[in-house]
Amino acid sequence: QKEIHLANRPKGMPTNDDFEFVEQDIPSLEENQVLLRTLYLSVDPYMRGRMQDSKSYIAPFQLHKAIAGGGIAEVVESRSDKFKQGDIVTGNLKWAEYSRANDQKIRKIDPSAAPVTTHLGILGMTGLTAYFGLLEIGKPQPGETVVVSGAAGAVGSAVGQIAKIQGCRVVGIAGSDEKIELLKTELGFDEAVNYKKDSFAEDLAKAVPDGVDVYFDNVGGPVTDEVFKLLNTNARIPLCGAISSYNKEEDLGPRLQSYMIKTSALMQGFTVGNYAAQFEAGSKQLGAWLQEGKLKYEETIVEGFDNTPDAFLSLFKGTNVGKLLVKVADP
Ligand code: NDP
């Protein structure tokens, strides 16, 4: 069986050379462990940070060791009384075709309740990030204008729809005309603007005639600079991600905070883990909105374990719509 290891700490934009495929024996089990056959792997922008050896909220990946992240797997052998063969589980999994896990570290999921992939997206980490970041920090009020960057991605597409459920006017920012169309038609955004167009600054200003009350920031950099110029007094800014800087070697430095002074805006960084105690309630609400048809989700599924590094790299090119996943095997 194959695993994918981190071969180098990437400088700037990672490349395929930063990953190595390694043949390993299928691991044998100890008491309270299960053998897992990987079905889906989640590839996420935050993993870029773990490729660097720097202090963060989560430890760096080790060189020449398997990369790991969210995944869905089938139990193929069990030495645990909590799991049996055939159970479908989710947890932090190695980028490997097979892996073993301690029974404390994985959670069983019910494949009949919702498609299993939702546990890596709308009902899992990215959905919960949107839910808590928007509601706890953004505190959107009915009638307010909410702007979200990275709007057609996993987190952003959920943020916009949750803001609509709260009765807000919602404007998305994304990087292609197809994404803009999807946001306005399928996902119910009031407006959406393409940041790659030369007219981005004017287009954005036109899309928010009443200014910006909540800016959910997934990308940082020049996109965020333009939003800052449109902030209203007492705007709230959940600072979720800064993907535009993840492959930059230089520090971007302070940018346009003077707009925050003028508007008494509040910006708060967060990681979804801050809300771990409320995950169950959050997933339940997201699941209810899905059932009621108030919330939709998009997925981009790349087929084949060998394509996992390419899938990860494509996050920085913006080829995904909604949650990006790798399908490793059928259940
Ligand atoms: P997405 O599904 O949004 O995928 C990444 C998207 O980012 C791409 O599709 C691309 O879309 C956009 N992008 C890539 N490069 C740039 C750039 N230079 N400038 C602007 N946009 C860019 O990923 P996620 O939904 O998983 O994550 C979104 C953000 O949220 C990330 O920054 C991530 O790190 C952060 N995050 C934070 C969490 C937290 O706990 N704080 C938890 C989960 C995610 P486009 O075509 O529009 O350019």
What is the Cα–Cα distance from 121 to 186, expressed in whole angstroms? 18
- Whether residue 190 is contained in a domain is answered as yes
Ligand 1 site, residue 268, Cβ cutoff 6 A: no
Helix (H, G, I), strand (E, B) or coil at 59: coil
Tokens of 263: 């508007």
Facing residues of 130 across strands?
none
225 and 134, same domain (yes or no) = yes
pLDDT by residue (tens digit) across 59-86? 999 999 999 999 999 999 999 999 999 9
Which tokens hold the place of 125? 């980490």
- Same domain? 109 vs 134: no
Question: How many domains, the chain?
Answer: 2
The reply to whether 106 and 134 lie within a common domain is no
In a domain, residue 285? The reply is no
CB 223 near ligand 1, within 6 Å: yes
Tell me how far the alpha carbon of residue 152 lies from the centroid of ligand 1, in angstroms: 9
Examine residue 292 and state whether it is found in any structural domain, yes or no. Answer: no
Q: What is the DSSP letter of 26?
A: P
This model of the complex carries an ipTM of 0.99
**70 with 176, same domain?**
no
Residue 103 lies in a domain: yes
Domain region containing 8: 2-121+298-327
CA end-to-end span of the chain, whole Å? 17
Helices and strands in the chain, H and E counts = 9, 15
**CATH number of the domain bearing residue 158:** 3.40.50.720
- CATH number of the domain to which 15 belongs: 3.90.180.10
132 and 252 belong to one structural domain: yes
Average pLDDT value over all residues in the chain: 96
Which one is predicted more confidently, 253 or 301? Answer: 301
Residue 80, in any domain of the structure: yes
Atom 18 of ligand 1 has which residue's CA nearest to it?
244
Q: Is the pTM of the predicted complex or chain greater than 0.90?
A: yes
pLDDT digits (tens, 9 = 90+) for 238-281: 999 999 999 998 877 668 999 999 999 999 999 999 999 999 99
Query: Is the domain of 112 the same as that of 231?
Result: no
**223 CA distance to ligand 1 centroid (A)?**
12
pLDDT tens figures, 82-110: 999 999 999 999 999 999 999 999 999 99
Same domain, 54 and 177: no
| CA distances in angstroms from 295 to 6, 144, 159, 176, listed in the order given | 36, 19, 10, 22
The 3-state DSSP class for residue 78 equals strand
Q: From the CB of 318, is ligand 1 less than 6 Å away? A: yes
